[in-house]
């Protein structure tokens, strides 16, 4: 930090130009803006106060803070972040510290060196924003932010009297535009090295399926139209009723809440592959999963081929090696006819029939009576589904609140209004009560096909819960009680199953998406297709896709070849920029006679008879003609006429005559010169 004595000695030449200070402050706001949602509100307040302080300094009302005040501010800031409740080395804490330091720098920014520091910090903050979000909208925004920051830097280097913010912005935009092709080349070719140290990743809560499910939770999810994932199928998209995106398996029930139990060991991918080797039908697809902060992945029943960093656990759910923090792209093949657990191990049987000893006594009684009546697991499931179908049960997004204890009793015998998880939970409980292995499965059901790119979009409101029952000989078999209470939900999607009251609670965009053919809907669809392509080509462009592309382009991928490709691409970009600059600086003379004369001048300049800048064509020709001992006047008259007399005919004969005269003069001069020299 500069001391007071320092600030006095700052020469006027090192001060920040007042006009570029304005741009500098604007760019600070612009780069902090996307980070606001990730940092504490008090830091935003500090930023605003610092901005206000600085504007006071700018207007000459207040002074810069003294050394003591600055020290106190820094100590206070660090303490504030320490007590803000971030993790000790979380990304949010680091970002907060950065933003805070950035804001404090504002009030002590005095000379050019400080301003350059702020500008570099601005670029750094632009990069920081991408740790949280890599969407297309943010990228577009940050490119604009880079333009503003660059404009501030341009302003720093302009003459004091000639600083105009708009002109600086124009220059900056041109600079960024020139840099874009090179960026593209580096993006495509620069090796994607694994990071040397691990960066703490954002830990913000996201909406989505969680590993605990209380009936009612899933209904809340339908309020959100946030994207869950996109999927691209190799072949035709399966029917809506077959799109059961399996994510989590809930095996534990406690106080009205279903929870995912201890993860089982991973299955051997070779066994799975072998078991489905002669399956006739396989669905190949690729999923672009939005960040969930969790490890679980979604798949159609039953994934038989999956990548190396993914595990298939004993309950046939997929688990990624690390939490999904940015859009994850993974490729799967599912076999719908695969038999899950033809033989059930005792451990799993015990796990999937376990119930708390006291809860829901009425349902237990009901289940035992029903089982005694029906005799088999399959018949009992059918009987319950029949009960749901024919009984006074209804499907609603706004179920009544249930007690923690005996919640299923309260639902099944009293309220009888519920969402998918109510029905699924009841059935699993009833089946387990009579010793039939059953479990609840959570995920998404359905998906909207985007007509532009043909991919399937799955949003949070498609969250769903269903059950799996283990039947001897058939293994785990999927049953969906929702199909019994609201068949339209499974056949045609959520909107078909909703009553008008339910529709009223949906968000605006969700309703719009359900609207069908409207302009807004097709616009949303178009935006979605853009985002999908962005994920496909930009976010999803990782080391493996890069090496695919490189081997397509270069054949064998060697460091030397990659280096050559980068150099060639970079050189090409430079050539493009140079060419545009050259062509813009030197506009071709449009007038035919002028072009002809210019060519003649260039040729004569090579012979050592360059035209002076202020030498008129007539004077030039006369000078050359004197040297060549020729009569200049016919040529002078013809040239003057074709150049400067708009009424003189400027036909082809005219320019041919001119060209002949020029050639004659040149030859005579060249001959005469060599003759004199020898």
Partner 1 sequence: MQTYSSSTTTLEDAGASRTQVKEHIQSLVDALNGVLLGKEQQIKLALACIFARGHLLIEDLPGMGKTLLSHALAKTLGLSYNRIQFTSDVLPSDIIGATIFDKQTNAFRFVEGPLFAQVVLADEINRATPKSQSALLEAMEERQVTTDGESLPLPEPFFVIATQNPSTQAGTFPLPESQLDRFLMRIELGYPEPAAERELLLNGDRRVVAEQLQALLNLSELRQIQAAVDAIKVSEPLVDYVQRLVAFSRQGTEFAFGLSPRGALALMQSAKSWALLHNRSHVVPEDVQAILPSVVEHRLRESADFAGHGGGALAQKLLGSVDVVS
Where do contacts with partner 1 occur on this chain (CB under 8 A)? 587, 589-591, 593-594, 597-598, 601, 611, 613-619, 640, 643-647
Name the DSSP class of 297. E
Q: Return the number of the residue (87 or 589) whose C-beta is nearest partner 1.
A: 589
- Confirm if 300 and 334 have CB atoms less than 8 A apart: yes
| DSSP β-ladder status, 448-449 and 438-445 | unpaired
Residue 455 annotated as catalytic: no
Output the six-digit token pair for 412: 């099944």
466 DSSP β-pair partners: 441
Nearest-10 crossing angle of helices 652-677, 617-628: 40
Residue 420 annotated as catalytic: yes
Q: Return the number of the residue (471 or 601) whose C-beta is nearest partner 1.
A: 601
CB of 588 to partner 1, least distance (A): 9
- Confirm if 237 and 282 have CB atoms less than 8 A apart: no
CB of 49 to partner 1, least distance (A): 42
Nearest-10 crossing angle of helices 41-59, 18-32: 170
Measure the CA–CA gap between 234 and 455, rounded to whole angstroms. 10
Residue 480 annotated as catalytic: yes
In the set 480, 495, 502, 528, the catalytic residue is: 480
CB of 601 to partner 1, least distance (A): 7
C-alpha atoms less than 13 angstroms from C-alpha of 675 in its C-beta half-sphere: 8
Q: Return the number of the residue (317 or 611) whose C-beta is nearest partner 1.
A: 611
Q: Return the number of the residue (644 or 671) whose C-beta is nearest partner 1.
A: 644
CB of 88 to partner 1, least distance (A): 57
Q: What is the DSSP string of 544-602?
A: HHHHHHHHHHHSS--HHHHHHHHHHHHHHHHHHHHHHHHHHHSPPP-SHHHHHHHHHHH
Q: Return the number of the residue (308 or 587) whose C-beta is nearest partner 1.
A: 587
Q: What are the start-end ranges of the H helices in 60-111?
A: 67-82, 91-108
**Hey, CA dihedral for 482, 485, 486, 487, is it positive or negative?**
positive
Q: Return the number of the residue (375 or 651) whose C-beta is nearest partner 1.
A: 651
Q: Return the number of the residue (84 or 616) whose C-beta is nearest partner 1.
A: 616
For 594-656, what is the HEC assignment? HHHHHHHHHHHHHCCCCCCCCCCHHHHHHHHHHHHCCCCHHHHHHHHHHHHCCCCCCCHHHHH
CB of 62 to partner 1, least distance (A): 35
Q: What are the start-end ranges of the H helices in 213-261?
A: 217-221
CB of 603 to partner 1, least distance (A): 14
CB of 165 to partner 1, least distance (A): 20
In the set 420, 495, 573, 609, the catalytic residue is: 420
Q: Of 27, 310, 270, 253, which Cα lies nearest the Cα of 145?
A: 27
CB of 591 to partner 1, least distance (A): 5
Q: Return the number of the residue (374 or 637) whose C-beta is nearest partner 1.
A: 637
Q: What is the DSSP string of 15-44?
A: BPPHHHHHHHHHHHHHHHGGGGGGS-HHHH
Output the six-digit token pair for 48: 């605003």
Alpha carbon 392 to its chain's center: 46
| DSSP β-ladder status, 318-320 and 310-312 | antiparallel
**Cα angle 529-531-534, degrees, rounded to a multiple of 5:** 110
In the set 464, 502, 573, 609, the catalytic residue is: 464
Residues classed as catalytic: 420, 464, 480
């Amino acid at each position: 930090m500069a001391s007071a004595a320092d600030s006095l000695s700052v020469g006027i030449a090192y001060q920040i130009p007042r006009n570029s200070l304005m741009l500098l402050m604007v760019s600070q706001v612009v780069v902090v803006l996307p980070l606001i949602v990730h940092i504490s509100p008090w830091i935003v307040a500090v930023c605003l106060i610092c901005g206000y302080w600085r504007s006071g300094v700018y207007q000459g009302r207040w002074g810069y803070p003294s050394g003591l005040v600055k020290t106190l501010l820094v100590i206070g800031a660090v303490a504030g972040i320490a007590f803000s409740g971030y993790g000790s080395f979380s990304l949010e804490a680091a970002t907060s510290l950065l933003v805070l330091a950035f804001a404090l720098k504002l009030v002590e920014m005095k000379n050019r060196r400080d301003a350059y520091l702020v500008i570099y910090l601005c670029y750094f903050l632009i990069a920081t924003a991408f740790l949280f979000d890599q969407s297309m909208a943010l990228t577009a925004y940050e490119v604009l932010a880079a333009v503003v920051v660059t404009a501030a830097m341009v302003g720093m280097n302009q003459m004091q009297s000639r600083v105009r913010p708009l002109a600086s912005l124009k220059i900056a935009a041109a600079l960024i535009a020139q840099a874009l092709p090179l960026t593209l080349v580096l993006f495509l070719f620069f090796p994607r090295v694994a990071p040397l140290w691990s960066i703490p990743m954002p830990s913000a809560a996201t909406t989505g399926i969680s590993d605990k499910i209380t009936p009612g939770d899933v209904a809340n999810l339908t309020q959100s139209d946030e994207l869950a994932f996109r999927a691209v199928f190799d072949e035709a998209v399966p029917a809506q009723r077959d799109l059961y995106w399996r994510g989590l398996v809930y095996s534990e029930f406690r106080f009205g809440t279903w929870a995912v139990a201890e993860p089982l060991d991973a299955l051997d991918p070779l066994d799975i592959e072998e078991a489905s080797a002669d399956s006739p039908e396989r669905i190949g697809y690729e999923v672009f999963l939005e960040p969930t902060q969790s490890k679980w992945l979604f798949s159609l029943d039953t994934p038989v081929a999956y990548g190396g960093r993914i595990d298939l656990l004993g309950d046939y759910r997929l688990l990624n090696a690390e939490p999904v923090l940015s859009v994850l792209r993974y490729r799967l093949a599912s076999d719908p006819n695969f038999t899950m657990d033809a033989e059930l191990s005792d451990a799993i049987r015990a796990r999937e029939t376990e119930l708390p000893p006291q809860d829901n006594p009425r349902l237990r009684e009901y289940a035992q009576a029903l089982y005694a009546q029906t005799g088999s697991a399959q018949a009992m499931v059918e009987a319950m589904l029949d009960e749901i179908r024919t009984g006074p049960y209804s499907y609603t997004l706004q179920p009544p609140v249930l007690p923690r204890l005996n919640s299923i009793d309260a639902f099944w015998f009293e309220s009888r209004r519920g969402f998918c998880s109510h029905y699924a939970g009841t059935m699993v409980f009833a089946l387990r009560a009579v010793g039939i292995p059953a479990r609840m499965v959570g995920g998404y059901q359905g998906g909207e096909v985007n007509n532009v790119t043909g991919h399937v979009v799955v949003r949070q409101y498609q969250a769903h819960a269903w059950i799996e029952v283990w039947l001897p000989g058939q293994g785990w078999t999927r049953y969906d009680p929702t199909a019994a209470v609201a068949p339209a939900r499974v056949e045609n999607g959520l909107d078909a199953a909703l009553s008008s009251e339910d529709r009223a609670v949906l968000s605006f965009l969700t309703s719009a998406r359900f609207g069908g053919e409207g302009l807004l809907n097709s616009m949303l669809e178009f935006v979605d297709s853009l985002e999908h392509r962005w994920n496909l080509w930009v976010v999803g462009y990782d080391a493996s896709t890069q090496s695919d592309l490189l081997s397509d382009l270069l054949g064998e991928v060697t460091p030397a070849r990659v280096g050559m490709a980068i150099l060639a691409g970079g050189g090409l970009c430079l050539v493009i920029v140079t060419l545009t600059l050259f062509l813009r600086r030197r506009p071709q003379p449009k007038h035919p006679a002028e072009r002809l004369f210019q060519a003649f001048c260039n040729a004569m300049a090579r012979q050592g008879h360059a035209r002076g800048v202020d030498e008129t064509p007539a004077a030039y020709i006369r000078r050359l003609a004197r040297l060549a001992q020729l009569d200049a006047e016919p040529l002078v008259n013809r040239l003057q006429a074709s150049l400067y007399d708009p009424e003189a005919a400027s036909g082809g004969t005219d320019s041919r005559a001119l060209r002949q005269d020029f050639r004659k003069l040149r030859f005579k001069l060249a001959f005469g010169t060599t003759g004199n020299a020898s």
